Chains A and B, each alone.
Chain A
């Protein structure tokens, strides 16, 4: 019944918009399309096809490679490993981060109880191909950090969704994000100006239902 209602509302709205659009001149239609629809569609396509990831809403995991260690007598030596920062994720995903020559330990930021729950629940596992993280994690409601010793692989596997370069999952610097934020802010402003400019102006002298009801004798 709700589905039918939604369909009915959408049909009615489409009809209203269609009737309204028919009254517009060619120039007004072209203006509306060029100021509102075209740029909004483009931004929508860009965000849908990956931009959402760019803003950071999609990836629950960030990876950072570790390469060296510095001892207390100021000696630097090679020590391979990686850090994983995992956000709480409600959706079901299984990530496999490959690594080699590593130890069989996961050093993490969870307390003993939560660590045990997630290990037993197979949310955090060391498997032959690497580190497996299965979301949602058990009892984890804050970002969690993991440290693993070993040589990080090249591609992360999202089971059922293919593999992606680990470079795209690395921790982002805040500085370049200021570029995107500044551009998106101004883009929103520009789209707002576009809507104001491109929307057909309302004719105050046009006869409408309110006037008909209050001044029925007036044309």
Chain B
């Protein structure tokens, strides 16, 4: 059957590459390579591709669903749906305030990035680097999934990860957003096919699980408040934390903003009724959790048995189901598809934010445009820089987080967990300023960023998330991440209030 696997895998990847190249020749990148808003098919389908990632859905969200159960899972779903609505509102309001109601996505990005360099550079770097590290985290987890789930050796898994990263890089280098959206359609089909295949397998082979949501009961000892015992108040708290986490993920993901912008633009053009718009967001927002639910229920029911097995909590291991050739193929295709979708999205988001800020800086500087490099050259150089940075962080992470002989660590999920701090800071800034960072006084933003990241880093290395091997107990760090996000939001809100009062008094 390996010839069949090879053929189908080559066909899938080759077809995607052909698609990218075909659209590149049919619609070459414009002089502003990422300012593309036409021929982006079905943007609503992949609005939650950030969630459909190894760091997100199959990492943190999976852990939350198993350890914190139904209240948290509902919180994640609500946070995701709410995030889509909020981002839509934020985009519309930002463009309206800039008197560019029909403005482009690049106009929106340009508006939200602070003008002055003391605020703009830290914020741009924070978002761009967060996306770059997210892409790297996907690479690390893909590599681990290749090892534990598909039986690859370390070097083989590394080569697989690097090969796929290069493929993903070429998709977006050649085709930009057109390539991203067009390949996302195919990728989502494979992820859903895998979900269906696994769900059917679980239904057939694990029917003794007893398909009730009772299997998603919250486990004690996580996300507690003082001495509060299990009860509706605690579950509301779990719901709230999960909702803020899901919301925060979207608020720090420019590729999600792009997709929501595109959906909104298409819906405005097509004059879709409000009911259609609401239905689209809700349906797409809940889709990842429909995929997660059967896996989480089965795993949740057997978690106690898994805990007794010394090997189970030490790594990500797919079950013996992969002995079935068709399931293996479905899983392999979905693994690659899910990775490419989230990796490409994060990669392009990192590049786009940096590109827009660079353009904004050059436009506002006194340097004549003739002296600055063309936008196309800047695009290529930033793409190369991001690829090099992803590679460096990847190989560094391999030597630190996946090398037991060095620091005793063998946990590829550490990088994603560490990244949560950056998402908390970005989310806190966005919530605290209502999406308009210029409302903060000058120089406050870089201080908030530095202090926020320092506090998170200090906490993380003594937290339950800093584990030598992967363990679902690392979900405990999510609570602190959310508290950090809310603290920053509160501080920003307070700062704005003080400024408002001072302004009134002076007036």
Interface residues of A (CB under 8 A from B): 26-27, 29-31, 33-35, 37-39, 42-43, 45-47, 49-51, 53-55, 167-168, 170, 172-187, 189-191, 193-194, 197
Closest to A27 in B: B377
Nearest 7 interchain pairs by C-beta = A182-B9, A54-B155, A30-B380, A183-B163, A34-B380, A46-B162, A186-B13
When A178-B9, A193-B17 are in contact, do A54 and B153 touch as well, CB less than 8 Å? yes
Measured CB to CB, the closest approach of chain B to A98, in angstroms, equals 17
Tell me which of B21, B154, B377 contacts A26 (CB under 8 A).
Answer: B377
A50 in contact with B17 (CB, 8 Å): no
The interface-forming segment of B81-89, B166-174, B195-203, B443-451 is B166-174
A180 in contact with B159 (CB, 8 Å): yes
Answer whether residue B328 sits at the interface, using C-beta atoms and an 8 A cutoff: yes
A26 to chain B: which residues have CB within 8 Å? 373-374, 377
- The distance in angstroms between the C-alpha atoms of A97 and B123, with both chains bound, is 54
When A43-B162, A190-B17 are in contact, do A176 and B167 touch as well, CB less than 8 Å? no
Answer whether residue B332 sits at the interface, using C-beta atoms and an 8 A cutoff: yes
B1 to chain A: which residues have CB within 8 Å? 175
B165 to chain A: which residues have CB within 8 Å? 42
A34 in contact with B383 (CB, 8 Å): yes
B150 in contact with A187 (CB, 8 Å): no
B373 to chain A: which residues have CB within 8 Å? 26-27, 30
When A30-B377, A43-B162, A186-B167 are in contact, do A50 and B13 touch as well, CB less than 8 Å? no
The interface-forming segment of B70-78, B283-291, B384-392 is B384-392
A51 in contact with B151 (CB, 8 Å): no
A175 in contact with B391 (CB, 8 Å): no
A49 to chain B: which residues have CB within 8 Å? 395
- The distance in angstroms between the C-alpha atoms of A39 and B168, with both chains bound, is 11
A170 to chain B: which residues have CB within 8 Å? 153
Measured CB to CB, the closest approach of chain A to B76, in angstroms, equals 30
- The distance in angstroms between the C-alpha atoms of A134 and B122, with both chains bound, is 57
When A39-B170, A176-B151, A193-B170 are in contact, do A182 and B6 touch as well, CB less than 8 Å? yes
Tell me which of A42, A55, A167, A193 contacts B162 (CB under 8 A).
Answer: A42
Can you pick out 27 interface pairs between chain A and chain B where the beta carbons lie within 8 Å of each other?
A30-B384, A31-B376, A33-B380, A34-B384, A43-B166, A45-B395, A46-B162, A47-B159, A50-B155, A173-B151, A175-B150, A175-B151, A176-B156, A177-B2, A177-B156, A179-B9, A180-B152, A181-B6, A181-B10, A182-B9, A185-B13, A185-B14, A186-B10, A186-B14, A187-B166, A189-B17, A194-B173
Interface SS, B side: helix
B391 to chain A: which residues have CB within 8 Å? 42, 45
When A172-B153, A176-B146, A178-B2 are in contact, do A184 and B21 touch as well, CB less than 8 Å? no
A43 in contact with B163 (CB, 8 Å): yes
- The distance in angstroms between the C-alpha atoms of A24 and B441, with both chains bound, is 45
Residues 361-403 of B contacting A (Cβ, < 8 Å): 373-374, 376-378, 380-381, 383-384, 387-388, 391, 395
A38 to chain B: which residues have CB within 8 Å? 384, 387-388
A197 to chain B: which residues have CB within 8 Å? 24, 174
B314 to chain A: which residues have CB within 8 Å? none
- The distance in angstroms between the C-alpha atoms of A26 and B379, with both chains bound, is 12
B55 to chain A: which residues have CB within 8 Å? none
**Most chain B Cβ neighbours within 10 Å, of A34, A180, A182, A187:** A182
When A176-B152, A178-B9 are in contact, do A187 and B158 touch as well, CB less than 8 Å? no
- A175-B2, A186-B13, A186-B17 provided; 9 other pairs, C-beta below 8 A? A27-B380, A30-B380, A33-B381, A34-B387, A54-B153, A179-B150, A179-B332, A182-B10, A191-B170
B2 in contact with A35 (CB, 8 Å): no
Tell me which of B156, B381, B388 contacts A30 (CB under 8 A).
Answer: B381
When A31-B380, A190-B167 are in contact, do A178 and B5 touch as well, CB less than 8 Å? yes
B154 to chain A: which residues have CB within 8 Å? 50, 168
When A26-B374, A30-B381, A182-B10 are in contact, do A46 and B158 touch as well, CB less than 8 Å? yes
Answer whether residue B160 sits at the interface, using C-beta atoms and an 8 A cutoff: yes
Closest to B163 in A: A183
B374 to chain A: which residues have CB within 8 Å? 26-27
A34 to chain B: which residues have CB within 8 Å? 173, 380-381, 383-384, 387
Answer whether residue B112 sits at the interface, using C-beta atoms and an 8 A cutoff: no
B150 in contact with A183 (CB, 8 Å): no
A27 to chain B: which residues have CB within 8 Å? 373-374, 376-377, 380
Measured CB to CB, the closest approach of chain B to A40, in angstroms, equals 9
Tell me which of A42, A46, A50, A185 contacts B387 (CB under 8 A).
Answer: A42
Measured CB to CB, the closest approach of chain A to B392, in angstroms, equals 10
Answer whether residue B292 sits at the interface, using C-beta atoms and an 8 A cutoff: no
Measured CB to CB, the closest approach of chain A to B249, in angstroms, equals 28
A187 to chain B: which residues have CB within 8 Å? 163, 166-167
B170 to chain A: which residues have CB within 8 Å? 39, 190-191, 193-194
Tell me which of A175, A182, A193 contacts B13 (CB under 8 A).
Answer: A182
A54 in contact with B377 (CB, 8 Å): no
Tell me which of A46, A53, A193 contacts B174 (CB under 8 A).
Answer: A193
B159 in contact with A178 (CB, 8 Å): no
- The distance in angstroms between the C-alpha atoms of A53 and B159, with both chains bound, is 10
Contact with A along B1-32 (1 / 0, CB 8 A): 11101100110011001000100100000000
When A26-B374, A178-B6 are in contact, do A51 and B166 touch as well, CB less than 8 Å? no
Answer whether residue B193 sits at the interface, using C-beta atoms and an 8 A cutoff: no
A39 in contact with B166 (CB, 8 Å): yes
Measured CB to CB, the closest approach of chain A to B318, in angstroms, equals 12
Answer whether residue B164 sits at the interface, using C-beta atoms and an 8 A cutoff: yes
A50 in contact with B151 (CB, 8 Å): no
B158 in contact with A50 (CB, 8 Å): yes
- The distance in angstroms between the C-alpha atoms of A181 and B3, with both chains bound, is 11
A54 in contact with B151 (CB, 8 Å): no
A185 to chain B: which residues have CB within 8 Å? 10, 13-14
Closest to A37 in B: B384
- The distance in angstroms between the C-alpha atoms of A31 and B328, with both chains bound, is 38
B156 in contact with A172 (CB, 8 Å): yes
B381 to chain A: which residues have CB within 8 Å? 30, 33-34
